[in-house]
Amino acid sequence: MGAPREHRVLIVDDSPAIRREIREAIENEGFGVECHEASNGLDGFRSLMDKPADLVLCDLVMPEFDGLKFLQLVSSRPELAEVPVIMLTAIGEVEQKIKVLGSGASDYITKPFHQGELLARVKVHLKIKALQDELRQKNALLLELSTTDGLTKIYNRRHFLELARKEFERSARLGLQLSLLLFDVDHFKEINDTYGHQAGDEVLISLCRAVTSSLRDYDTFGRYGGDEFVVLFPQSDLRAALRVAERIEKAIGEIEVPEMAGRRVTISGGLVPKMVRHADLEALLKTADEALYRSKSLGRARITPAEE
């Protein structure tokens, strides 16, 4: 096992003596903390923007830029929303403590502080922060697993259809153009049988990289099933979509899979613009599927626009 992750703690106080006292107490405790210092709220905020901390200990009363102004700046930045701030205050009134907590502080310690209490609160907030970070990472992984295809890392069928259905409804509501491309890999079963499933997987992975590099930022690309893929072109008529489809064909034709000894990868596809007769996304997909099979009947290795 590797060494435990080192936490980063930022100490913001106008008193060098207090900063040193806090730093020495934390570092001498030996629970893996890297301390940084700032002498006022503005410098503390700049330090956070440069490299976010796992915990901030901030004095409330400082000349020019105090702790409340520091909290206001931190609260204005979404990327700092999860950084806990313990406010150090010599003011013991309940109203002041409520104001501090209401301004975004996670906790407060009254000066002069007891070193044992300070260390205990630091440990607690670092532990909470670590657990929250771990939970966010796991949630991000779960989201990725639920929306992307495990092999190709593009959208899976379910998530693509969810996004495409929303875009179809938006285009219908606003009277916007929309086009869709459905395609599959020519002779993919033969590729698997001849060169092995590992080569087949490499074809799909390389194909998805090639397609992704050919798309515009606002196009949506997903694996429809097996060796079948689908691309949605928002706000695009047939001509605009065809230009992108031609880029896709060219990029796929340049794929090189070592196990296939120079054999070229080609696709057959059906490209369809949204028309009046398409009441929903399913109708659009059906028309694209019909155009795809026309491509196959014409000899494959082509993209066929749907008939009006």
Beta carbons within 8 Å of 248's beta carbon, 6+ residues apart: 181, 210, 211, 214, 215, 231, 267
Within the chain, which residues score under 50 in pLDDT? Answer: 1-4
Give me the CATH code for the 157-305 domain, please: 3.30.70.270
Beta carbons within 8 Å of 116's beta carbon, 6+ residues apart: none
Handedness of CA 52, 55, 57, 62 (dihedral sign): positive
- Residue ranges per structural domain of the chain: 7-146, 157-305
Tens of pLDDT along 157-194? 999 999 999 999 999 999 999 999 999 999 999 999 99
Helix axes 115-147, 16-29, angle to 10 degrees: 70
Q: Within 13 Å and on the Cβ side, how many CA atoms surround 181? A: 32
C-beta separation of 211 from 229 below 8 A: yes
pLDDT value at position 143?
81
Match domain 7-146 to its CATH number in 3.30.565.10, 3.40.50.2300, 3.30.450.20, 3.50.50.60.
3.40.50.2300
**pTM confidence score:** 0.65
**% helix, strand, coil for the chain, step of 5:** 50, 20, 30
CA distances (Å), origin 87, targets 72, 114, 155 = 13, 14, 44
